[in-house]
Amino acid sequence: MTTVREVLRRPLRHFTERSLAGLALVLGAGVAFGVLLVGVRSRWTPLYDVDHGIAAWLNEQIAPHGPLVTVLNAVTDLGGLAVILWLVSVGVVGLLIRRQGRLAVYLLVTGAGALILDPTVKALVDRLRPEVEVPIGTYSGESFPSGHALGSMVAYGALLLVFLPAMSRRWRKPAIALTALVVALIGFTRIALGVHFVSDVLGAWLLGAVWLGVTAYAFRLWRLERGRPAVPIEEGLEPEAAHDVAPAPDEERLLPHPRAGVAELIIGWVLVLGVLYGFGTFVSYHADGTFFATMDRAVPEWFDAQRTPGRDDLSHWWSKVGDTHAILLISLVFCPLVLAVWRRWRPVLFVALTMFGELTLFLASAAAVDRPRPPIENLDGPMPTSSFPSGHIAATLCVWVAIAIVVFPRTDRWWRWVFVGLAVVMPLGVAISRMYRGMHHPTDFMGAMMLTACWVGLLYWVVRPNADVAEGNRPAIESEDVHTLDDELVKAGRVD
C-alpha cells in the first residue's frame, strides 16, 4: 500500500501547496466579514433593518402556507451536507475509476476547503440566527455564513467545472444557468425559512466564489506545469478529458422498441397489481382453514414468544436496512458506479424502473387490500400503510436482485457471487426482522416475493439491461488486468 499512498499523496500535496495562498485569502476574507459584522451585531441601522425586515416579512408571507414550506424544505435539502457529500463522493469515485486522478483531487480539495471554511468563519463571526415570529426551519450553529449556500456554491460549481467538457457546446450555457439557478434557489430557501439573514447568504456566495476561483486557478497552473495549454473557464477544467468524464455515450434507444416497451410495462404493471390484489385479498379475508391462515397465525405468535430486549434492538437495526432511506442510498451509490464502470444508461434505467415500479405497486396493492397488521404487539407502532405486501421486504428484494442481475454477467471475478449472496441474505434478514417485530404476516413476505419476481422479470424481458454485454461491451476494469487492490488504486491515482 506504500506505493498507493505515494501515488495519491503526490498530487494532493502538490495541489494543496498551490491552494494554500488561496485558502489564506479566503480565511482573510472571512475575518474581514467578521469585522464588518461587528456593525450588524451592534445593530448598525441600514444593514440591521434590511436583514431583520426581510426575515420578518418573508416569515409572515410563508409561514401560513404548509405546502410551500414543504417545497422550500425539499429545495433546501439540495444544499444539505448529506447531498453535497454524496455528489462529491460519487464524482470522485467515478473520476478515479475513469483514471482522472487530477480532477478527483480537485474535487476532494475544493470540497474539503468548503467544509473547513464554513465552521471556521462561523466561529470567527459568531452571529446569532434570525428570530422570527413563526419558526418554520430547523438549524444548528451560528448564522454567518450560510453553510447550505456555501456548500452548494462550491460543490455544484466544482462539479460543473469538472464535467462541463463532456457537454456539447449548445448545452453548456443552459447547464451553467441551471447550476446558478439551483444555487440561487438554495440560498433563497435559507432566507425564506427564517434560518439565515440575507447577508449570511450573500457572504456565503462570496466566499464560495472566491474559493472556487482560487482552486480553479491553481488547477490551471497545474495544467501549465504539465505542459497543457491554458483554456477558457467556459471550456471546463480539463477539455482533454471530455470522453472520460462523460457519464455514458449517447444511446440511440434506451429500450429496444420504445413505444412497444412502454406499452408492455404499463400493461405488465396492471397485471402484476392484479396478481397482488388477488393473492392479498385471498390470504387476508378468504383463507380461513387453509395452510396460509395457520401459518399467518402461528408464525407471529412464535416470534412474539421469542422477544428479548437484545433481539428487539437487533431487529430494529436489521429492519432499517429495508427502509426508504437505505434503499434510496443503495440505488444512488450503485447507479453512478454502473455509469462509471460500464458507460451504459440501460442498466441504470433498469434499476430506476425496478424501484419506481416496486414503490407504486406496493402503495397501490397495500391501499387496495388494506390488510390489518398481525394481532400481536407491533413494535414499530401504527404505520401509514397496511400489512400486505411488505414494503421493506419488497424494496430490499427488488434493489438487491436488480443489482445482482446487472453485476453478475459483467464480470468473471469471484466477488460477483457476493451480490448473489446479498440478494438472498439481505431480504431474508429484513423479512425475519419485520415478522419478529409484528409488522407483517408470512404471506406478506410471500406477496413481496411475488411482486419482485413478476416486476423484475417483466423489466428484464422488456428493458434487457445486459444487452450491451452480449454486444461485446466490456467493463472499464477487466478481470485479467486486476491482480491486486494496490494495482488498481495505482492506476486510478496515476497522473499524466
pLDDT of residue 122: 83
- Measured distance CA(446)–CA(292) in Å, rounded: 10
Task: Note whether 205 and 98 are within 8 A (CB).
Answer: no
Cβ burial, residue 217 (10 Å; 0-12/13-18/19+): middle
pLDDT of residue 458: 94
Average pLDDT, consecutive stretches of 10 residues, N- to C-terminus, the chain (496 residues): 46 47 55 61 70 78 80 86 88 86 88 87 78 72 84 91 84 88 91 85 85 83 74 75 74 72 92 94 90 91 90 90 87 87 88 93 92 88 86 93 92 88 93 92 94 95 84 51 42 42
Q: Global pTM?
A: 0.76
Count of other CB atoms within 10 angstroms of residue 428: 14
pLDDT of residue 467: 82
Tracing cell 450573500 back to the chain, one arrives at: 202
pLDDT of residue 495: 39
How many Å separate Cα 447 from the centre of its chain?
28
Cα–Cα distance list, 282 to 4, 20, 130, 394, 447 (Å): 60, 69, 57, 19, 11
Q: Identify the three-state secondary structure at position 474.
A: coil
**Beta-carbon contacts of residue 265 (< 8 Å; ≥ 6 apart):** 353, 357, 458, 459, 462
Grid cell for residue 21? 495562498
Grid cell for residue 312? 428487539
pLDDT of residue 37: 63
Q: First CA to last CA across the chain, in angstroms?
A: 21
- Measured distance CA(440)–CA(385) in Å, rounded: 11
Q: What is the DSSP string of 50-112?
A: HHHHHHHHHHHHHTT-HHHHHHHHHHHGGGSHHHHHHHHHHHHHHHHHTT-HHHHHHHHHHHH
- The length of the chain in residues reads 496
Cα–Cα distance list, 430 to 289, 297, 301, 308, 327 (Å): 28, 20, 18, 18, 12
Cβ burial, residue 408 (10 Å; 0-12/13-18/19+): middle
Count of other CB atoms within 10 angstroms of residue 287: 17
**Nearest-CA neighbor of 396 among 440, 354, 337?**
354
- Measured distance CA(200)–CA(128) in Å, rounded: 11
Grid cell for residue 125? 463571526
What is the 3-class SS of 235-297, one letter each residue? Answer: HCCCHHHHHHHCCCCCCCCCCCCHHHHHHHHHHHHHHHHHHHHHHHHHHHHCCCCCHHHHHHH
pLDDT of residue 29: 58
Radius of gyration of the chain (CA): 27
Grid cell for residue 265? 410495462
**Beta-carbon contacts of residue 176 (< 8 Å; ≥ 6 apart):** 160, 164, 234
pLDDT of residue 474: 56
- Measured distance CA(62)–CA(387) in Å, rounded: 37
